[in-house]
Amino acid sequence: MKKFTMGVLGLGEGRSIISAVQNSELWELGNICDLNEELCKERCQEFGLDGYTTEYQNMLDDESIDVIGIYTPDQLHAAHIKMALEAGKHVICTKPLMVDLDEAGALLEAQKRTGKTVFVGQSSRYFEPARRQRQDFEEGRLGGLITVETHYISDSRWFLDREWSHRKGFSWMYNFMIHAVDLAVWYLPEVEEVYGLGIASENTRERGIQAPDTMKFLLKNKDGRFAGVNGVYAAPTLGSAVEQSISCTLRGTKGISRAGYPKLQYYTNFQPLQKTAQLHEYNELHDYFFRFEAETHHAGEYQNYIEQFARDMNEGITPKPDLKEGIRTLAVMEAMEQSLRLGIPVNVSQVLADRNLCLD
């Protein structure tokens, strides 16, 4: 099996991908890069590395690097992906793929022309409970899927201390809620119409930001089934022991399942049905998923997704979510934003048509 070599761009959350690469038998680390030289040195010390660069171009010029892992601020992803493709590299880009669809057409064109792969690091799909839930779904243990409920709820006011959270392009929806949206469209991939309500609470507005921090949406699939998606980001929470930060509930004709994050817990009630769902816990994996202080990093999820990427590439399969799927999810989110603004249901195909985007 071919091993892949990664150059890591952006060394904040990029710390987790360095750990993932170092612990994987399918990957090697090519180089690391950040504009902040002190941070480069810190990561070298932490991971026993002997080199770094502060110039992205150096990684792009390095022929030993196959894949660029992009962990820069959200607003820079589109430009950094395009540069990687033009340099003949595959891309693994953290969520959100982009902060709007402005560059979507140019990226689709560059990807097609270069023939390189773009994979979106939707980490929540790769946490153990989410993986188990997906497997049970694919094995038909729920029967037919009737409806989906997802949420991402966290008191993330700390995020507003970041300089780039005050720059154009930041929103709670694209940076945070995308986890819950992605889980919903993973199960209902043909979302056609969306409707939602949202407010920017005083807690966000007093920091000079107008982006809604409290949102509730209905996402209607082509066949009439729908998902409910909730997000609250600037208010106290019940805590993850009471209410998981991320949650995905699948209600089927024959069973029900609920996976969450950050607790390694998964509830199922399959045939023969019980009065109360069964709890499955994977606490033995705690240190695999959470390698640094607290439960705030994602190294285990990243290791799972880069290994999936490597296995798929070796087998000639396109790793998912790919560029087209990522862009479709962003089109759903652009429709969600429009619905908040206009107060009416918004059609996703119309968003794609208005943008001249064809994903077939």
Task: Verify binding: residue 76, ligand NAD, rule CB under 6 A.
Answer: yes
- Site stretch for ligand NAD (CB under 6 A), options 11-19, 137-145, 225-233, 246-254: 11-19
- Binder to ligand NAD among 94, 204, 245, 268 (CB under 6 A)? 94
Contacts of ligand NAD in 302-321 (CB under 6 A): none
Number of residues that bind ligand NAD (CB under 6 A): 23
Q: Vertex 133, ends 225 and 244: CA angle to 5°?
A: 90
Task: Verify binding: residue 9, ligand NAD, rule CB under 6 A.
Answer: yes
Give per-residue burial for 149-167: e unless 16+ CB within 10 Å, then b: bbbbbbebbebbeeeebee
Per-residue mark of binding to ligand NAD, 283-302 (x: CB under 6 A): ---------------x----
Cβ atoms of residues 175 and 74 within 8 Å: yes
Q: In this structure, what token pair is assigned to residue 97?
A: 């793929």
Task: Verify binding: residue 62, ligand NAD, rule CB under 6 A.
Answer: no
- Site stretch for ligand NAD (CB under 6 A), options 35-43, 57-65, 322-330, 350-358: 35-43
- Site stretch for ligand NAD (CB under 6 A), options 66-74, 147-155, 239-247, 320-328: 66-74
Tell me whether residue 13 or residue 295 sits nearer to ligand NAD (CB atom). Answer: 13
Between CA 237 and CA 125 the distance in angstroms is 23
| Contacts of 330 by beta carbon, 8 Å cutoff, 6+ apart | 96, 97, 98, 100, 101, 104
CA distances from 221 to 48, 148, 190 (A): 48, 11, 5
- Site stretch for ligand NAD (CB under 6 A), options 29-37, 45-53, 112-120, 257-265: 29-37
Contacts of ligand NAD in 38-57 (CB under 6 A): 39, 56
| Contacts of 357 by beta carbon, 8 Å cutoff, 6+ apart | 101, 104, 105, 108, 327, 331
Q: In this structure, what token pair is assigned to residue 228?
A: 């409910």
CA distances from 33 to 57, 135, 163, 180 (A): 10, 36, 19, 30
Cβ atoms of residues 32 and 17 within 8 Å: no
Rounded to the nearest 10 degrees, what angle do helices 14-22 and 37-47 cross at?
30
Nearest to 39 by CA among 5, 13, 73, 78: 13
Task: Verify binding: residue 328, ligand NAD, rule CB under 6 A.
Answer: no
Per-residue mark of binding to ligand NAD, 166-205 (x: CB under 6 A): ---------x------------------------------
Q: Vertex 106, ends 105 and 109: CA angle to 5°?
A: 85
Three-state DSSP at 147 gives strand
Tell me whether residue 204 or residue 268 sits nearer to ligand NAD (CB atom). Answer: 204
Smallest separation (angstroms) from ligand NAD to the CB of 310: 18
Per-residue mark of binding to ligand NAD, 127-166 (x: CB under 6 A): -----------------------------------x----
Per-residue mark of binding to ligand NAD, 109-128 (x: CB under 6 A): ------------x-x-----
Q: Can you give the binding site for ligand NAD, defined by CB under 6 A? A: 9-13, 33-36, 39, 56, 71-74, 76, 94-95, 121, 123, 162, 175, 298
